[in-house]
Amino acid sequence: MTDATAEADLVTVFKALGHPTRLAILEWLKEPESFPPQDRPATEVGVCLKHIQARAGISQSTASQFMAILQRAGLVTCTRIGQWSHYRRDEPAIAALGEAVARTV
């Protein structure tokens, strides 16, 4: 990865984290068991978008947009189960982010 690519990746991540609700969602996903029960354990598949939407108090389309931004930034992963999207933090990517910030900033 070139320095320019690494810097562009960091800019994408910081833009994703630049909205208070997206930052809060990432924090909430640290404890997926704090969301309502689902058919499959949230620790395995992630938290259903409808639960994220309800906690954030935002529309379904806004929740989808926010999660897409976090996913493009590499901060969350998505698992589709039928018509439902489940999200969880990408812990290795978040750890790598910390290292990248330490090297760059």
The residue-averaged pLDDT of 55-60 equals: 98
Asked if residue 57 has pLDDT above 70, the reply is yes
Cα 64-74-89 angle, rounded to 5 deg? 75
What one-letter code names the amino acid at 96? A
Using one digit for the tens of pLDDT, what is the confidence trace for 58-86? 999 999 999 999 999 999 999 999 999 99
In order of their start, the domains of the chain are 3-104 (1.10.10.10)
Give the torsion through C-alpha atoms of 56, 60, 62, 68, to 10 deg: 100
Instruction: Tell me the C-alpha distance between 60 and 9, whole Å.
Output: 27
Q: Is the dihedral of CA 37, 43, 47, 48 positive or negative?
A: negative
User: What whole-number percentage of the chain has pLDDT above 90?
Assistant: 72
The residue-averaged pLDDT of 31-60 equals: 92
Question: What is the helix (H) or strand (E) element at residue 17, kind and residue range?
Answer: helix 3-17
Q: Given pLDDT bands bounded at 50, 70 and 90, which one contains residue 3?
A: low
Q: pTM to 2 decimals?
A: 0.89
